[in-house]
């Protein structure tokens, strides 16, 4: 249990870095993750302490659970992602712009509610970082 005003910190492999996005586009699995075992003996490996979790959904879950001041942080940057960034940046920003424009037209309230989290998803830090760290304060009683 976390006391009111306490700080919760969740860290997860960064599924949104460029390497992971390319891995997902090419093979349908995020970087570091692959097909799940189906046999009973190997199933025990499915409950490890590291599971793929999209940082947007961590952010959303924290807000829904009554946390505030949700912030995103990152650890080390991957040199391979930094090298790809100049090529990928224009495409990602164009896609982001088109998506935001569509949301503004169809669901403006949804865009307003999610603007901070959506901006974090395509920041250069998120595109290049190895891990995502989400921190949030539990609401005071």
Q: Which DSSP string do the residues of the chain spell out, in sequence order?
A: ---TT-EEEEEEE-TTSHHHHHHHHHHSS-TT--PPP-STTGGGGGG-S-----HHHHHHHHHHTTEEEEEEEE-PBPHHHHHHHHHHHHHHHHHHHHHHHHHHHH-HHHHHHHHHHHHHHTSHHHHHBSEEEEEEEEPP-
Q: What is the pLDDT along the chain (141 residues), one digit of tens a residue?
A: 788 889 999 998 999 999 999 999 999 998 888 887 777 777 666 655 667 888 889 888 888 888 988 888 999 999 999 999 999 999 999 999 999 999 999 999 999 988 888 888 999 999 999 999 999 999 876
pTM: 0.83
């Amino acid at each position: 249990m976390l006391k009111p005003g306490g700080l919760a910190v969740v860290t997860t492999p960064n599924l949104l870095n460029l390497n992971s996005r390319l891995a997902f586009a090419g093979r349908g699995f995020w970087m570091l993750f692959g097909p799940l075992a189906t046999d009973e003996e190997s199933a025990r490996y499915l409950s490890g302490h590291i599971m793929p979790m999209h940082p947007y959904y961590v952010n959303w879950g924290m807000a829904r659970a009554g946390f505030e001041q949700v912030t995103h942080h990152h650890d080390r940057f991957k040199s391979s992602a930094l090298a790809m960034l100049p090529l990928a940046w224009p495409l990602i920003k164009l896609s982001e712009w088109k998506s935001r424009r569509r949301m503004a037209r169809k669901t403006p309230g949804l865009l307003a509610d999610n603007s901070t989290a959506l901006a974090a998803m395509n920041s250069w830090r998120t595109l290049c970082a190895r891990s995502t760290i989400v921190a949030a304060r539990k609401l005071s009683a």
